């Protein structure tokens, strides 16, 4: 509980809950807004990266001498320009990272571990010269056999990516190295006993492929280090403070030496929470003492940033004939890519979290393979594990002749349920979203020929974390907000709305900006569905503090004690006295200089009390049995937002997440050849949903308030990508009377199953 909050849950709200124009809207629709690649500086160099052509190879030597002689080349960096670190987990805000792995992913050291792995970087006076320089760098590799799939990586005798990788979480610890970084297990009760009590047990294995967040804006940055070691970095990122942290450690700067400014960000979804180009650009700039601009091209985004895991999932669920689940068990094997850190822990924790179970177990394995190191992708780990569980639940519903929503209602988690990962849940909206789905017209709408309907639910934790924001009262009574979490989806509008609600002044008088890393205390990144929740909390708290100061100034001017002044609709108001006296914010602000100085407040805290968000989606599909094509006919997304500050942007998160899930379910996958080279490195063949692939995405926002936020907000950004995978697979299974167990359900795969079973 954030002790400072008093909730507004009962108050009638004036602006929170409405749909005003976002403050940055005009800049975005006119092309004026500046994204990562949109900034330039005088004397600027262009940086390009030399990338490994091999999936797995020892780097024997790198000779940059010929490249250095090329006219126009001003700096070259390799692993010698970066610090090495022992294997050690260190925090970066609420993230925990292993710097030994991070430095090697940013710049390979002993080995290249995936095609596209950074081996060197060059800064030159033009892109052409930089590319020519790359071709002049001589790298001697010793090519090694590679491995791409988890089940191959686990086999004894598999090529070893790290010869010091001893699996953590196995007792006793293995004697020799393997590609299994970690084993985790969650759960309680006795699953074997639970299965013995079941009338029906369904067990199934699922396969999902590696997919990418698919943000349209590639990674880009502009670094400028001057002769005295001061660095300015402009980059597209979900977390400028996190970037500062990574770059300082990697390059031996201290935090005061690097100022990071986040550009507008063209999509992230978790993929822009780590660094790729930024340390390279800083290192090149430090060497040349000139600004260095770097951009990834689209192929590099796919080969060399951080997609999410492909996986193997095994699920076993037992039920009684009345639908009561007696036990749930799963084993998850997730690809980590070149370095440990697949999101298998969270995947295991939330696999069964929508349900109230007495006997539950989830085991996860984090397995390295010669693919890029995975990064977060919207509810990292959750979509994969919940796809398996939600699919088996559907199969059970069919087998026992129960409606799939009724089956979920019968077992739904609610306040007081013990989550599979241990603690009791606070108020959540699982039942509410299920009831809303059941009573939605979509659920009872007639289906056309070759069409079927699928349902699935989803659970994601959401997080809080370190947050800092400030509010200034300008001399004319308008207001400035400085926020520390980049605005990816319209959140700065919601922040201005909350400040407007607290102050009682129109939103048009409030200007929110995203501050650089010098303007505020540490902010953890935008992600984890935390911005509206955490930054919103600090905005409300700092606004309340500013209001206290405004009241003090009014009390001074009225020569009364503070307790005789209240704040009402943008005015200080004298509580006692014969005649009503008010003083507007503008009037107080005008005299701020004379009554004590400028009025400003900030709130910096580690925000706690994030509430999980539950969602249930309904999808109608048509399956063309001749071509295997699956079409989405109708889609409804229902989710608990706690409180929708700006409903249009909450709807936007639900619609965007649902369509990413549609892509994941129907078409998206990394396709590697036998050399470990990614074959579909562009949007033509890594096909994300286009406008004509999807219908309107209808949305229903359920509000089960989160008592730990002044307005009841729950994070909403991540949950909506979870239900679509199983909802669509369930619909396709029902349409064809075959049980599908792998993603994506692309036409060749659907056809193969229809033909061969």
Partner 1 sequence: MAQLILTGSLKNLTNGIGEFTIQARNVHQLVGELKRICPPLAPLIESEGFAVAIDGEIYQDILFAAISENSEIHLIPPIGAG
Partner 2 sequence: MSKTHVATHINGDSYEFLCNTQQTLLDVLRHELDLKGSKEGCATGDCGACSVMMDDRLVCACLVLGVEADGKKIETVEGLSTGSSLDPLQQKFIDLAALQCGICTPGVLVAAKALLEKNKNPSEEEVRFWLAGNLCRCTGYDKIVRAVLEVAAEARNT
HEC-encoded secondary structure of 164-213: CCCCECCCCCCCCCCCEEEEEEEEECCHHHHHHCCCEEEEEEEEECCECC
Binder among 154, 683, 747, 749 for partner 2 (CB under 8 A) = 683
Q: For the chain, percent helix, then strand, then coil, each to nearest 5? A: 30, 25, 45
Output 32 or 66, the one with its CB closest to partner 2. 32
Give the span between the Cα atoms of 347 and 381, in whole angstroms: 4
Q: What are 91's two structure tokens? A: 């925090």
CA 5 vs. chain centroid, Å, equals 26
116, 411, 563, 581, 584 from 577: Cα distances, Å: 74, 59, 13, 8, 18
- How near is the Cβ of 612 to partner 2 at its closest, in Å? 23
Binder among 382, 429, 489, 744 for partner 2 (CB under 8 A) = 489
- How near is the Cβ of 45 to partner 1 at its closest, in Å? 33
Dump the DSSP string for 388-427.
HHHHHHHHHHHHHT--HHHHHHHTB--TTPBPTTSSBP-S
Q: Does 466 bind partner 1 (CB under 8 A)?
A: yes
Residue 186 interacts, among partner 2, partner 1, none and using kind-specific CB cut-offs from 5 to 8 Å, with partner 1
Place of tokens 């805000």: 93
Strand, helix or coil for residue 646: coil
Residues within window 73-112 making contact with partner 1, judged by CB under 8 A: 88-91, 94-96
Binder among 372, 464, 628, 720 for partner 1 (CB under 8 A) = 464
Q: What are 52's two structure tokens? A: 């490994």
Output 187 or 477, the one with its CB closest to partner 1. 187
Residues within window 108-167 making contact with partner 1, judged by CB under 8 A: none
Q: Does 448 bind partner 2 (CB under 8 A)?
A: no
- How near is the Cβ of 127 to partner 2 at its closest, in Å? 9
Place of tokens 């939103």: 507
Q: Does 47 bind partner 2 (CB under 8 A)?
A: no
Q: How long, in residues, is the chain?
A: 757
Binder among 2, 15, 16, 24 for partner 2 (CB under 8 A) = 24
Strand, helix or coil for residue 55: coil
Q: What are phi and psi of 113, to 5 degrees?
A: -115, 0
Residue closest to 232 by CA, chosen among 163, 286, 294: 286
Output 187 or 536, the one with its CB closest to partner 1. 187
Residue 91 interacts, among partner 1, partner 2, none and using kind-specific CB cut-offs from 5 to 8 Å, with partner 1
Q: Segment near partner 1 (CB under 8 A), from 499-507, 560-568, 583-591, 601-609?
A: 601-609
Binder among 279, 337, 528, 536 for partner 1 (CB under 8 A) = 528
Stretch (H or E) spanning 59: strand 57-63
Q: Does 345 bind partner 1 (CB under 8 A)?
A: yes
Helices (H) and strands (E) in the chain, counts: 21, 28
Q: What are 644's two structure tokens? A: 């929708």
Q: Segment near partner 2 (CB under 8 A), from 19-27, 84-92, 108-116, 133-141?
A: 19-27
Q: Does 175 bind partner 1 (CB under 8 A)?
A: no
Q: Does 756 bind partner 1 (CB under 8 A)?
A: no
431, 545, 547, 552 from 575: Cα distances, Å: 45, 19, 16, 14
Residue closest to 373 by CA, chosen among 89, 608, 98: 98
Residue 89 interacts, among partner 1, partner 2, none and using kind-specific CB cut-offs from 5 to 8 Å, with partner 1
Q: Does 306 bind partner 1 (CB under 8 A)?
A: no
* Radius of gyration for the alpha carbons in the chain, expressed in angstroms and rounded: 27
Give the span between the Cα atoms of 666 and 205, in whole angstroms: 18
Binder among 90, 690, 748, 752 for partner 2 (CB under 8 A) = 690
Q: Does 721 bind partner 2 (CB under 8 A)?
A: no
Residue 590 interacts, among partner 1, partner 2, none and using kind-specific CB cut-offs from 5 to 8 Å, with none
Q: Segment near partner 1 (CB under 8 A), from 159-167, 584-592, 607-615, 679-687?
A: 607-615
Residues within window 546-585 making contact with partner 2, judged by CB under 8 A: none
Taking CB under 8 A as the rule, which mask of x and - marks residues 701-730 in contact with partner 1?
-------x---------x------------
Give the span between the Cα atoms of 600 and 588, in whole angstroms: 13
* 679 in Cβ contact with 673 (< 8 Å): yes
Query: What is the contact surface with partner 2 in residues (CB under 8 A)?
Result: 19, 21-22, 24-26, 28-35, 37-38, 213-218, 264-269, 295, 297-298, 488-490, 646, 648-649, 651-652, 655-660, 682-684, 688-694, 696-697
Query: What is the contact surface with partner 1 in residues (CB under 8 A)?
Result: 1, 88-91, 94-96, 169-171, 183-188, 213, 269-270, 273, 343, 345-346, 349, 361-363, 376-381, 421-426, 461, 463-466, 524-525, 527-530, 606, 608-610, 708, 718
């Amino acid at each position: 509980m954030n002790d400072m909050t008093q909730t507004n849950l009962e108050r009638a709200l004036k602006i929170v809950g409405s749909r005003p124009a976002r403050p940055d809207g005009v800049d975005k629709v006119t092309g004026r807004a500046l994204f990562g690649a949109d900034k330039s500086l005088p004397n600027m160099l262009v940086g390009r990266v030399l990338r490994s052509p091999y999936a797995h190879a020892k780097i024997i030597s790198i000779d940059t001498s010929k490249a250095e002689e090329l006219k126009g080349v001003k700096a070259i960096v390799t692993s010698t320009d970066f610090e090495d670190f022992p294997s050690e987990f260190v925090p970066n805000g609420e993230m925990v990272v292993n710097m030994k792995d991070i430095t090697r992913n940013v710049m390979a050291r002993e080995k290249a571990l995936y095609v596209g792995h950074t081996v060197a970087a060059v800064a030159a006076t033009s892109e052409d010269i930089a590319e020519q320089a790359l071709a002049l760098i001589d790298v001697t590799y010793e090519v090694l056999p590679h491995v791409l799939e988890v089940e191959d990586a686990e086999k004894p005798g598999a090529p070893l990516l790290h010869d010091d990788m001893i699996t953590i979480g196995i007792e006793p610890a293995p004697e020799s190295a393997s590609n299994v970084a970690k084993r985790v297990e969650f759960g309680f009760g006795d699953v074997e006993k639970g299965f013995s009590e079941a009338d029906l047990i369904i067990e199934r294995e699922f396969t999902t492929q590696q997919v990418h967040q698919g943000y349209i804006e590639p990674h880009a940055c502009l670094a400028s280090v001057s002769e005295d070691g001061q660095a300015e970095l402009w980059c597209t990122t979900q977390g400028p403070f996190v970037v500062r942290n990574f770059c300082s450690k990697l390059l031996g700067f201290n935090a005061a030496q690097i100022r990071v400014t986040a550009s507008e960000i063209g999509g992230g979804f978790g993929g822009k929470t780590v660094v790729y180009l930024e340390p390279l650009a800083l290192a090149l700039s430090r060497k040349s003492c000139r600004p260095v601009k770097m951009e990834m091209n689209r192929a590099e985004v796919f080969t060399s940033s951080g997609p999410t895991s492909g996986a193997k999932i095994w699920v076993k669920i037992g039920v009684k004939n009345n639908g009561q689940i007696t036990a749930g068990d799963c084993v998850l094997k997730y690809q980590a890519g070149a370095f440990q850190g697949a999101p298998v822990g969270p995947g295991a924790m939330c696999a069964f979290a929508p349900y109230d179970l007495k006997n539950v177990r989830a085991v996860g394995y984090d397995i390295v393979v010669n693919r890029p190191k995975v990064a977060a992708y919207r509810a990292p780990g959750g979509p994969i594990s919940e796809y398996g569980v939600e699919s088996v639940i559907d199969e059970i519903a069919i087998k026992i002749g129960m409606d799939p929503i009724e089956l979920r209602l019968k077992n739904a988690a609610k306040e007081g349920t013990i989550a599979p990962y241990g603690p009791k849940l606070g108020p959540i909206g699982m039942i509410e979203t299920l009831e809303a789905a059941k009573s939605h017209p979509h659920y009872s709408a007639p289906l056309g020929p070759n069409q079927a309907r699928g349902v699935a639910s989803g659970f994601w934790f959401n997080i809080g974390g370190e947050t800092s924001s400030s509010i200034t009262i300008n001399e004319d009574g308008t207001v400035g907000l400085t926020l520390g979490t980049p605005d990816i989806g319209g959140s700065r509008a919601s922040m201005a709305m909350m400040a407007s609600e607290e102050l009682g002044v129109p939103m048009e008088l409030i200007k929110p900006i995203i501050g650089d890393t010098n303007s505020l205390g540490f902010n953890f990144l935008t992600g984890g569905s935390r911005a509206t929740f955490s930054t919103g909390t600090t905005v409300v708290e700092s606004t309340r503090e500013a209001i206290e100061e405004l009241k003090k100034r009014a009390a001074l001017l009225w020569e009364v004690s503070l307790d005789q002044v209240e704040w009402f609709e943008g005015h200080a108001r004298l509580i006692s006295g014969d005649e009503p006296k008010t003083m507007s914010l503008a009037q107080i602000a005008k005299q701020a200089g004379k009554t004590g100085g400028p009025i400003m407040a900030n709130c910096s805290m580690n925000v706690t009390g994030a509430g999980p968000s539950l969602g249930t989606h309904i999808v109608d599909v048509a399956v063309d049995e001749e071509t295997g094509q699956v079409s989405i006919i109708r889609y409804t997304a229902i989710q608990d937002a706690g409180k929708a500050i700006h409903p249009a942007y909450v709807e936007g998160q639900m619609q965007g997440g649902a369509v990413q899930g549609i892509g994941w379910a129907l078409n998206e996958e990394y396709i590697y050849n036998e050399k470990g080279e990614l074959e579909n490195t562009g949007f033509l063949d890594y096909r994300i949903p286009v406008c004509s692939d999807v219908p309107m995405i209808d949305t229903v926002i359920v509000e089960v308030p989160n008592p730990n936020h002044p307005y009841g907000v729950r994070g909403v950004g991540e949950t909506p990508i979870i239900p679509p995978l199983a909802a669509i697979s369930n619909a396709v299974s029902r349409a064809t009377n075959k049980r599908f167990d792998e993603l994506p359900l692309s036409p060749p795969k659907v056809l193969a199953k229809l033909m061969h079973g």
